[in-house]
Structure 1
Amino acid sequence: MSRQGTIKRYTLIIERINRGLYPTLKEIETYLFDHGFEISKRTLQRNIEQIRDEFGIEIIYDQEKKGYFIDKENSIQFNSFLRFLEIANTAELITESIKDSKKTLEYISFDNDGILKGISNLKILLQAIKEQKVVTFTHYNFDQGNYKERKLYPYLLKEYLNRWYVIGLQEKDNTNFRTFGIDRISNLTLTTEVFVRNQELHPQSLFSSIIGVIYPEENIQEVVLKFTPFQGKYIKTLPLHHSQEILIDNDKELTIRLWIKINYELKQRLLMLIDQVEVLKPIALRDEMKQVLTKTLNNYN
């Protein structure tokens, strides 16, 4: 079967198990059959093993309940895997639609008008991560306004707001990860130098406590935000962070709590919604938003 068919099967398996109620192998098999996939029990078991081994999704069989469930706490890449399935299935849908009619692209509007600069580097960087090979490149620093030669032991690729970033170590025995936007990378070279990945380092966990890609050294804090009822509808359907908890939800406000590290991207998200949100906690962040608003108002005076 094609790779697209395999990805679609993976999606259906996750959908059925993620519903809860500990489905049996037979129930998952029936769900696949109802969606056009007739496969053997052995193939289904192999697919579950592949999802577990290739993507780190802990699909567990509960002996007591005699069914399967997903151990999300020990599946560090669960959200990334769901995003991967979403992108893959969307791409397949568009590809199939284009095959049916070349006019399909006339009916689709993408977020960016052009191709993201540096996107061609993704393949090389992904190969480097999989094969644990060192890469070298030239990187442009926005803050300092200069170019620097870099040597990186790559660990992870991350996407945020239609931009891709590579995360890795600059020294083999270091433990401090650095993040580089691939749109600012040039002269990328996949070297023959092989390194051993430190299994005690999990860069994915760095991003579990933040929004975006900038992870400060400060501790996780309680952030309480009050939204207008209208904006609250969007916040409920597309949460700001996985820790989001609803405190108040009525016709006057939506108040939520986040447990998160306060970084540049969080502040940017708040400023994008500045007339629709009020920061209640922490006081330091509330005061900072006040200062930004005062400065902005002065700009218009």
Structure 2
Amino acid sequence: MAQNKNALIRYKTIDKCLQNKYRQWTLQDLVEACSDALYEYEGRDVNVSLRTTQLDIQLMRSDKLGYNAPIEVYDKRFYRYADEDYSITNIPLTENDMTILNESVEMLKQFKNFSLFHDLDGVIQRLEDTIYVEKTHRSAIIHLDKNEQLKGLEHFDSIYQAIVKQICLVLSYRSFKAREPIQVQFHPYILKQFNNRWFVVGREEGRPQIMTFALDRIEQVDYNLELDYTTQDFNGDDFYKDTYGVTVLNDSMLMDVTLKIDKANAPYVLTKPFHHSQVLLETLEDGGVIIQLRVHLNMEFDRLLLGFGPSIEVLKPKILRNRIRGRFKLAYEQYLQETPKS
């Protein structure tokens, strides 16, 4: 057991002793009580010295732990709390405590439908009650992106449990282009998040290639206990190492990409790289930069570049440069037209 945990057990034991005002507590009594408590937790004798207990009392008296315990000595040998109602468990939360609790609760609530967190429901409610009682009236410091209308999250836990227990799924899946859903016998490997959407990645029964299904397009999830689950030694990190987003293409679309970033956007791209392969090739006289990265030329990467507008220029490869130029040309021609009347 870690020493800091032993210390917490001693503090709680001393606190419990001193709350008992019907008994006189000597230093030796407190030593024995701490030794008994540690034996109960560890199942073995732990030698608590007089010196250790004296230091514990000094720390509890100080504000180092936030206790400021009113421990006093009377009759030159007995210890007690000057305030009979005091306990280290009744210390009001500090402003920093409130901030940490508030943000922790908000993060935990993001997973409220996840079975691994079901046992935390009561804890979260008690924390929320504590925060309400001692409310600081400050707005949240940490603000998390969330979309309460995001579809498919009701399937998250079923898919997660199937991956953990290695069970095949039967997915009822309808793509944006399909009129009717299809039934897919699926071996799920990982759950992946990108751009505030969740995807399940795995292999369809009878097909060797890895497939990706968006949770928001899944209409129903069932288990197939009769089908043998196979992993094929799938590794998510290896599978996505050359990809921005979730669409993994074949090696013919894996290319070195050279980009010119203007001065205004260079710091953002350098401090938050597009991909782990990104390297700085040159810093230009006007403050812009030229970077290079090696990625699949998928639609997610196209959208990333298009989102920067004229701030990014594709220098290489030619296939990507022409593709992005064509998209901007279409957009330009579209905006040359008169604004349609509403």
- TM-score bin (small chain): 0.5 to 0.7
**Letter aligned with residue 190 of structure 1:** Y
What residue is the counterpart of 2:264 in the other structure? 230
Higher gyration radius (CA): 2
Q: Does residue 278 of structure 1 match 2:313?
A: yes
Q: Distance in 1 between matches of 2:180 and 2:331?
A: 29
Encode CA deviations 1:103-139: one digit per residue, 9 max, x unaligned. 7895364434424211121111111111111111211
Residue 149 (structure 1) shift: 1.6
Q: Does residue 121 of structure 1 match 2:155?
A: yes
Q: Does residue 180 of structure 1 match 2:210?
A: no
Q: Distance in 1 between matches of 2:273 and 2:322?
A: 24
Q: Does residue 192 of structure 1 match 2:222?
A: no
For the 8 Å contact 2:153–2:215, the answer to whether it is kept is yes
For the 8 Å contact 1:138–1:148, the answer to whether it is kept is yes
What residue is the counterpart of 1:263 in the other structure? 298
For the 8 Å contact 1:98–1:105, the answer to whether it is kept is no
**Letter aligned with residue 185 of structure 1:** I
For the 8 Å contact 1:132–1:194, the answer to whether it is kept is no
Query: Which aligned pairs between 1:242-261 and structure 2 lie closer than 5 A?
Result: 242-250=276-284, 251-261=286-296
For the 8 Å contact 1:227–1:254, the answer to whether it is kept is yes
What residue is the counterpart of 2:5 in the other structure? none
Query: Which aligned pairs between 1:27-42 and structure 2 lie closer than 5 A?
Result: none
- Normalised by the size of structure 1, how large is the TM-score? 0.63
- Normalised by the size of structure 2, how large is the TM-score? 0.56
**Letter aligned with residue 177 of structure 1:** I
Rate the CA distance shift 1:157–1:168 in 2: closer, same or farther, 3 A: same
Residue 99 (structure 1) shift: 6.1
What residue is the counterpart of 1:41 in the other structure? none
Q: Which sections of structure 1, spanning at least 5 residues, go unmatched? A: 2-89
Q: Which sections of structure 2, spanning at least 5 residues, go unmatched? A: 2-102, 109-123, 337-342
Rate the CA distance shift 1:111–1:203 in 2: closer, same or farther, 3 A: closer
What residue is the counterpart of 1:213 in the other structure? 246
Query: Which aligned pairs between 1:98-117 and structure 2 lie closer than 5 A?
Result: 101-102=131-132, 106-107=139-140, 109-117=143-151
What residue is the counterpart of 1:45 in the other structure? none
For the 8 Å contact 1:133–1:193, the answer to whether it is kept is no
Rate the CA distance shift 1:287–1:164 in 2: closer, same or farther, 3 A: same
Encode CA deviations 1:246-298: one digit per residue, 9 max, x unaligned. 11235521211001111000000001112210000001111111111111111
Q: Distance in 2 between matches of 1:185 and 1:198?
A: 21
What residue is the counterpart of 2:92 in the other structure? none
Q: For structure 1, which segment, 262-271 or 246-255, has the greater mean C-alpha deviation from structure 2 after superposition?
A: 246-255
Q: Distance in 1 between matches of 2:107 and 2:164?
A: 28
Q: Distance in 1 between matches of 2:235 and 2:107?
A: 34
Please give the secondary structure, in 1, of the residue aligned with 2:172.
strand
Residue 299 (structure 1) shift: 0.3
Please give the secondary structure, in 1, of the residue aligned with 2:273.
coil
What residue is the counterpart of 2:273 in the other structure? 239
Q: How many residues align?
A: 213
Q: Distance in 2 between matches of 1:125 and 1:300?
A: 44
For the 8 Å contact 2:151–2:216, the answer to whether it is kept is yes
For the 8 Å contact 2:189–2:234, the answer to whether it is kept is no
Please give the secondary structure, in 1, of the residue aligned with 2:309.
coil
Rate the CA distance shift 1:105–1:142 in 2: closer, same or farther, 3 A: farther
Q: Distance in 2 between matches of 1:263 and 1:105?
A: 43
Give the percent of matched residue pairs that are identical in Structure 1 and Structure 2.
27
For the 8 Å contact 2:105–2:128, the answer to whether it is kept is no
Residue 91 (structure 1) shift: 4.7
For the 8 Å contact 2:255–2:294, the answer to whether it is kept is yes
Residue 144 (structure 1) shift: 3.3
Q: Which has the higher contact order (CA 8 A, sep 6+)?
A: 1
